[in-house]
Amino acid sequence: MDQKNKRHIGSVSNNRFLVGITVVGLFAGAISIILFIGIVETPLSFFCNNTMNLQAKKSSTSINPSTWMELQRKAIVHYATSRVVPQQSLKEIQISLRELNARTPCNFLVFGLGHDSIMWASLNPGGSTLFLEEDPKWVDTVLRGAPHLRAHTVKYRTQLSQADELLDHYRAEPECWPNKSFIHGNQKCRLALNMLPEEVYEKEWDLIMIDAPRGYFPEAPGRMSAIYSAAVMARNRKGSGVTHVFLHDVDRKVEKVYSDKFLCPKYLKESAGKLRHFEIPAAKKSEDKEFC
Protein backbone atom coordinates (compact mmCIF):
# COMPACT_ATOMS: atom_id res chain seq x y z
CA MET A 1 0.00 0.00 0.00
CA ASP A 2 1.47 3.41 -0.94
CA GLN A 3 1.85 6.30 1.50
CA LYS A 4 -0.94 8.32 -0.12
CA ASN A 5 -3.48 5.56 0.50
CA LYS A 6 -2.23 5.12 4.05
CA ARG A 7 -2.71 8.82 4.74
CA HIS A 8 -6.18 8.72 3.20
CA ILE A 9 -7.27 5.75 5.28
CA GLY A 10 -5.82 7.30 8.40
CA SER A 11 -7.67 10.54 7.73
CA VAL A 12 -11.00 8.74 7.21
CA SER A 13 -10.44 6.68 10.35
CA ASN A 14 -9.69 9.80 12.39
CA ASN A 15 -12.77 11.60 11.07
CA ARG A 16 -15.03 8.68 11.91
CA PHE A 17 -13.41 8.44 15.36
CA LEU A 18 -14.17 12.12 15.98
CA VAL A 19 -17.81 11.60 15.01
CA GLY A 20 -18.02 8.69 17.42
CA ILE A 21 -16.48 10.72 20.26
CA THR A 22 -18.90 13.59 19.56
CA VAL A 23 -21.90 11.27 19.65
CA VAL A 24 -20.72 9.95 23.02
CA GLY A 25 -20.43 13.55 24.17
CA LEU A 26 -24.02 14.26 23.17
CA PHE A 27 -25.31 11.39 25.27
CA ALA A 28 -23.01 12.10 28.20
CA GLY A 29 -24.06 15.73 28.17
CA ALA A 30 -27.73 14.83 28.10
CA ILE A 31 -27.44 12.48 31.05
CA SER A 32 -25.27 14.94 33.00
CA ILE A 33 -27.94 17.62 32.65
CA ILE A 34 -30.63 15.16 33.69
CA LEU A 35 -28.74 14.15 36.82
CA PHE A 36 -27.78 17.75 37.64
CA ILE A 37 -31.35 19.03 37.73
CA GLY A 38 -32.62 16.00 39.59
CA ILE A 39 -34.64 14.66 36.76
CA VAL A 40 -34.10 11.04 37.68
CA GLU A 41 -37.30 11.12 39.73
CA THR A 42 -39.32 12.77 36.96
CA PRO A 43 -37.23 12.16 33.85
CA LEU A 44 -39.77 13.05 31.20
CA SER A 45 -40.75 16.49 32.48
CA PHE A 46 -37.45 17.96 31.33
CA PHE A 47 -38.21 17.16 27.72
CA CYS A 48 -41.54 18.93 27.35
CA ASN A 49 -42.94 22.36 27.98
CA ASN A 50 -45.38 21.16 30.62
CA THR A 51 -46.96 18.03 32.03
CA MET A 52 -50.14 18.42 30.01
CA ASN A 53 -48.14 18.62 26.80
CA LEU A 54 -46.31 15.42 27.69
CA GLN A 55 -49.51 13.53 28.46
CA ALA A 56 -51.03 14.69 25.19
CA LYS A 57 -48.06 13.45 23.18
CA LYS A 58 -47.08 10.32 25.09
CA SER A 59 -47.93 7.12 23.24
CA SER A 60 -48.79 3.72 24.68
CA THR A 61 -46.02 2.34 22.49
CA SER A 62 -43.36 4.79 23.66
CA ILE A 63 -40.35 3.75 25.71
CA ASN A 64 -40.97 4.16 29.45
CA PRO A 65 -38.66 6.38 31.56
CA SER A 66 -36.58 3.62 33.15
CA THR A 67 -36.09 1.91 29.81
CA TRP A 68 -35.07 5.20 28.22
CA MET A 69 -32.41 5.79 30.87
CA GLU A 70 -31.09 2.29 30.27
CA LEU A 71 -31.08 2.93 26.52
CA GLN A 72 -29.13 6.16 27.03
CA ARG A 73 -26.50 4.37 29.08
CA LYS A 74 -26.23 1.58 26.53
CA ALA A 75 -25.90 4.15 23.76
CA ILE A 76 -22.94 5.80 25.49
CA VAL A 77 -21.20 2.48 26.05
CA HIS A 78 -21.99 1.35 22.50
CA TYR A 79 -20.51 4.38 20.77
CA ALA A 80 -17.62 4.70 23.24
CA THR A 81 -16.43 1.15 22.61
CA SER A 82 -17.26 0.69 18.92
CA ARG A 83 -15.28 1.65 15.85
CA VAL A 84 -18.56 1.54 13.91
CA VAL A 85 -20.13 4.99 14.12
CA PRO A 86 -23.36 6.51 12.73
CA GLN A 87 -23.58 6.71 8.94
CA GLN A 88 -24.30 10.44 8.96
CA SER A 89 -21.73 13.13 9.59
CA LEU A 90 -21.76 15.34 12.67
CA LYS A 91 -23.24 18.30 10.76
CA GLU A 92 -25.97 16.08 9.34
CA ILE A 93 -26.83 14.64 12.74
CA GLN A 94 -27.01 18.10 14.31
CA ILE A 95 -29.81 19.15 11.95
CA SER A 96 -32.10 16.34 13.10
CA LEU A 97 -30.97 16.71 16.70
CA ARG A 98 -32.13 20.34 16.82
CA GLU A 99 -35.65 19.35 15.78
CA LEU A 100 -35.71 16.41 18.20
CA ASN A 101 -34.64 18.68 21.05
CA ALA A 102 -37.45 21.09 20.19
CA ARG A 103 -40.19 18.47 19.80
CA THR A 104 -39.39 15.57 22.11
CA PRO A 105 -41.43 13.60 23.04
CA CYS A 106 -42.70 13.10 19.52
CA ASN A 107 -43.61 10.49 16.93
CA PHE A 108 -40.45 9.71 14.96
CA LEU A 109 -40.55 7.38 11.94
CA VAL A 110 -37.21 6.19 10.59
CA PHE A 111 -36.75 4.39 7.28
CA GLY A 112 -33.70 2.26 7.99
CA LEU A 113 -32.20 0.34 10.88
CA GLY A 114 -28.49 0.54 11.51
CA HIS A 115 -25.60 1.57 13.70
CA ASP A 116 -27.26 4.93 14.42
CA SER A 117 -30.62 3.50 15.56
CA ILE A 118 -29.71 3.38 19.26
CA MET A 119 -28.80 7.04 19.01
CA TRP A 120 -32.06 8.13 17.37
CA ALA A 121 -34.25 6.17 19.80
CA SER A 122 -32.41 7.49 22.85
CA LEU A 123 -32.75 11.09 21.63
CA ASN A 124 -36.57 10.85 21.70
CA PRO A 125 -37.29 10.08 25.38
CA GLY A 126 -40.98 9.54 26.12
CA GLY A 127 -41.77 9.56 22.41
CA SER A 128 -42.50 6.83 19.89
CA THR A 129 -39.61 5.93 17.59
CA LEU A 130 -40.26 3.26 14.96
CA PHE A 131 -37.77 1.85 12.45
CA LEU A 132 -38.70 0.33 9.07
CA GLU A 133 -36.12 -2.02 7.53
CA GLU A 134 -36.12 -4.16 4.38
CA ASP A 135 -33.80 -6.97 5.54
CA PRO A 136 -35.33 -9.33 8.16
CA LYS A 137 -31.96 -10.88 8.98
CA TRP A 138 -30.49 -7.46 9.67
CA VAL A 139 -33.47 -6.62 11.89
CA ASP A 140 -32.82 -9.76 13.95
CA THR A 141 -29.12 -8.92 14.20
CA VAL A 142 -29.69 -5.35 15.40
CA LEU A 143 -32.47 -6.26 17.85
CA ARG A 144 -30.35 -8.95 19.47
CA GLY A 145 -27.94 -6.23 20.52
CA ALA A 146 -30.61 -3.58 21.18
CA PRO A 147 -33.89 -5.31 22.15
CA HIS A 148 -35.47 -2.03 23.28
CA LEU A 149 -35.61 -0.74 19.71
CA ARG A 150 -38.91 -1.07 17.87
CA ALA A 151 -38.58 -2.17 14.26
CA HIS A 152 -40.67 -3.74 11.50
CA THR A 153 -39.61 -5.45 8.29
CA VAL A 154 -40.94 -3.93 5.07
CA LYS A 155 -41.09 -5.72 1.73
CA TYR A 156 -40.88 -3.03 -0.94
CA ARG A 157 -42.50 -3.53 -4.33
CA THR A 158 -40.20 -1.26 -6.34
CA GLN A 159 -36.71 -1.42 -7.81
CA LEU A 160 -34.29 1.43 -8.36
CA SER A 161 -34.20 0.64 -12.08
CA GLN A 162 -37.91 1.57 -12.23
CA ALA A 163 -37.42 5.14 -10.97
CA ASP A 164 -38.16 6.86 -14.30
CA GLU A 165 -41.03 4.50 -15.11
CA LEU A 166 -42.61 5.18 -11.72
CA LEU A 167 -42.63 8.92 -12.40
CA ASP A 168 -44.56 8.22 -15.62
CA HIS A 169 -46.91 5.99 -13.64
CA TYR A 170 -47.45 8.78 -11.10
CA ARG A 171 -48.44 11.24 -13.83
CA ALA A 172 -50.89 8.77 -15.38
CA GLU A 173 -52.50 7.38 -12.22
CA PRO A 174 -55.05 9.69 -10.50
CA GLU A 175 -54.76 7.73 -7.24
CA CYS A 176 -51.19 9.04 -6.98
CA TRP A 177 -52.09 12.69 -7.44
CA PRO A 178 -51.97 14.98 -4.39
CA ASN A 179 -55.67 15.83 -4.52
CA LYS A 180 -56.52 12.13 -4.02
CA SER A 181 -53.34 10.78 -2.47
CA PHE A 182 -53.52 8.26 0.34
CA ILE A 183 -51.28 5.42 1.49
CA HIS A 184 -53.25 2.83 3.44
CA GLY A 185 -55.01 0.46 1.06
CA ASN A 186 -53.94 2.30 -2.08
CA GLN A 187 -53.56 -0.57 -4.56
CA LYS A 188 -53.43 1.54 -7.72
CA CYS A 189 -50.53 3.87 -6.94
CA ARG A 190 -47.32 1.85 -7.06
CA LEU A 191 -45.48 4.54 -5.13
CA ALA A 192 -47.79 4.24 -2.12
CA LEU A 193 -46.44 2.09 0.72
CA ASN A 194 -49.68 0.22 1.31
CA MET A 195 -48.11 -2.77 3.10
CA LEU A 196 -46.78 -1.12 6.25
CA PRO A 197 -47.74 -2.13 9.80
CA GLU A 198 -51.02 -0.63 11.03
CA GLU A 199 -49.14 1.46 13.58
CA VAL A 200 -47.59 3.52 10.79
CA TYR A 201 -51.00 4.54 9.48
CA GLU A 202 -52.58 5.08 12.90
CA LYS A 203 -50.05 7.70 14.02
CA GLU A 204 -49.25 11.15 12.73
CA TRP A 205 -45.48 11.35 12.46
CA ASP A 206 -43.84 14.58 13.59
CA LEU A 207 -40.44 13.66 12.18
CA ILE A 208 -39.66 11.27 9.33
CA MET A 209 -36.10 10.21 8.58
CA ILE A 210 -35.44 8.57 5.19
CA ASP A 211 -32.09 6.80 5.19
CA ALA A 212 -33.31 3.55 3.59
CA PRO A 213 -34.06 1.33 1.79
CA ARG A 214 -30.96 0.64 -0.26
CA GLY A 215 -30.65 2.64 -3.45
CA TYR A 216 -27.22 2.08 -4.96
CA PHE A 217 -27.76 -0.81 -7.41
CA PRO A 218 -30.50 -1.46 -10.01
CA GLU A 219 -32.26 -4.30 -8.16
CA ALA A 220 -32.38 -2.40 -4.86
CA PRO A 221 -35.80 -1.10 -3.76
CA GLY A 222 -34.72 2.53 -4.03
CA ARG A 223 -36.24 5.32 -1.96
CA MET A 224 -38.88 6.42 -4.45
CA SER A 225 -41.85 5.07 -2.49
CA ALA A 226 -40.44 6.15 0.87
CA ILE A 227 -40.08 9.74 -0.36
CA TYR A 228 -43.52 9.77 -1.99
CA SER A 229 -45.22 8.23 1.05
CA ALA A 230 -43.53 10.64 3.45
CA ALA A 231 -44.84 13.53 1.35
CA VAL A 232 -48.37 12.11 1.45
CA MET A 233 -48.23 11.57 5.22
CA ALA A 234 -47.07 15.15 5.73
CA ARG A 235 -49.70 16.65 3.44
CA ASN A 236 -52.49 14.62 5.06
CA ARG A 237 -51.56 15.69 8.58
CA LYS A 238 -54.59 16.57 10.70
CA GLY A 239 -52.81 17.87 13.80
CA SER A 240 -51.17 21.24 14.26
CA GLY A 241 -47.73 22.14 13.01
CA VAL A 242 -45.62 20.85 10.17
CA THR A 243 -44.00 17.50 9.45
CA HIS A 244 -40.21 17.46 9.41
CA VAL A 245 -38.75 15.18 6.74
CA PHE A 246 -35.02 14.41 6.68
CA LEU A 247 -33.69 12.80 3.50
CA HIS A 248 -30.17 11.38 3.37
CA ASP A 249 -28.00 10.65 0.31
CA VAL A 250 -29.32 13.53 -1.79
CA ASP A 251 -26.09 13.44 -3.77
CA ARG A 252 -27.68 10.55 -5.69
CA LYS A 253 -29.90 11.22 -8.69
CA VAL A 254 -33.07 9.45 -7.53
CA GLU A 255 -33.07 11.07 -4.09
CA LYS A 256 -32.56 14.51 -5.63
CA VAL A 257 -35.17 14.12 -8.38
CA TYR A 258 -37.82 12.62 -6.12
CA SER A 259 -37.28 15.15 -3.33
CA ASP A 260 -37.66 17.98 -5.83
CA LYS A 261 -40.81 16.32 -7.17
CA PHE A 262 -42.59 15.41 -3.94
CA LEU A 263 -40.97 17.11 -0.93
CA CYS A 264 -40.63 20.42 -2.81
CA PRO A 265 -37.73 22.90 -2.87
CA LYS A 266 -39.98 25.59 -1.36
CA TYR A 267 -40.25 23.51 1.82
CA LEU A 268 -36.49 22.98 2.13
CA LYS A 269 -35.41 24.46 5.46
CA GLU A 270 -31.73 23.57 5.51
CA SER A 271 -29.17 21.11 4.26
CA ALA A 272 -25.74 19.83 5.21
CA GLY A 273 -23.55 17.31 3.47
CA LYS A 274 -25.85 14.68 1.97
CA LEU A 275 -28.87 15.58 4.14
CA ARG A 276 -31.87 17.75 3.31
CA HIS A 277 -34.37 18.92 5.91
CA PHE A 278 -37.90 19.78 4.74
CA GLU A 279 -40.74 21.36 6.74
CA ILE A 280 -43.94 20.28 5.02
CA PRO A 281 -47.28 21.79 6.07
CA ALA A 282 -50.62 20.06 5.81
CA ALA A 283 -52.10 20.64 2.36
CA LYS A 284 -55.30 22.48 1.65
CA LYS A 285 -57.81 20.70 -0.55
CA SER A 286 -57.24 21.50 -4.20
CA GLU A 287 -57.39 19.96 -7.64
CA ASP A 288 -53.64 20.09 -8.13
CA LYS A 289 -52.02 17.18 -9.93
CA GLU A 290 -48.53 18.12 -8.75
CA PHE A 291 -47.10 18.12 -5.24
CA CYS A 292 -44.82 21.09 -5.88
The structural domain count of the chain equals 1
Distance CA 209, CA 229 (A): 12
Domain presence at residue 285: no
| pLDDT for position 26 | 54
Distance of CA 204 to the CA centre of its chain: 14
Does residue 286 lie within any of the structural domains? Answer: no
Question: Which mean pLDDT values do the consecutive 10-residue runs of the chain (292 residues) have?
Answer: 41 50 52 36 35 38 61 65 77 95 96 93 94 97 93 97 98 94 95 96 98 97 99 95 98 98 98 98 83 96
Look up the CATH number of the domain holding residue 56: 3.40.50.150
Burial of 173 (0-12, 13-18, 19+ CB in 10 A): middle
Distance CA 120, CA 259 (A): 22
Q: Is residue 291 part of a domain?
A: no
pTM score: 0.78
Q: Which domain holds residue 77?
A: 3-280
Res 175: pLDDT: 95
Q: What CA–CA distances, in Å, run from 58 to 71, 106, 147, 151, 203?
A: 18, 8, 21, 19, 12
Tell whether 292 is covered by a domain.
no
User: Does 105 sit behind a cis peptide bond, omega within 30 degrees of 0 on the bond before it?
Assistant: yes
**pLDDT reported for residue 54:** 39
In a domain, 49, yes or no: yes
Q: pLDDT at position 47, please?
A: 37
Tell me if 287 is assigned to some domain. Answer: no
65-81 and 3-36 helices, crossing angle to 10°: 150
In a domain, residue 252? The reply is yes
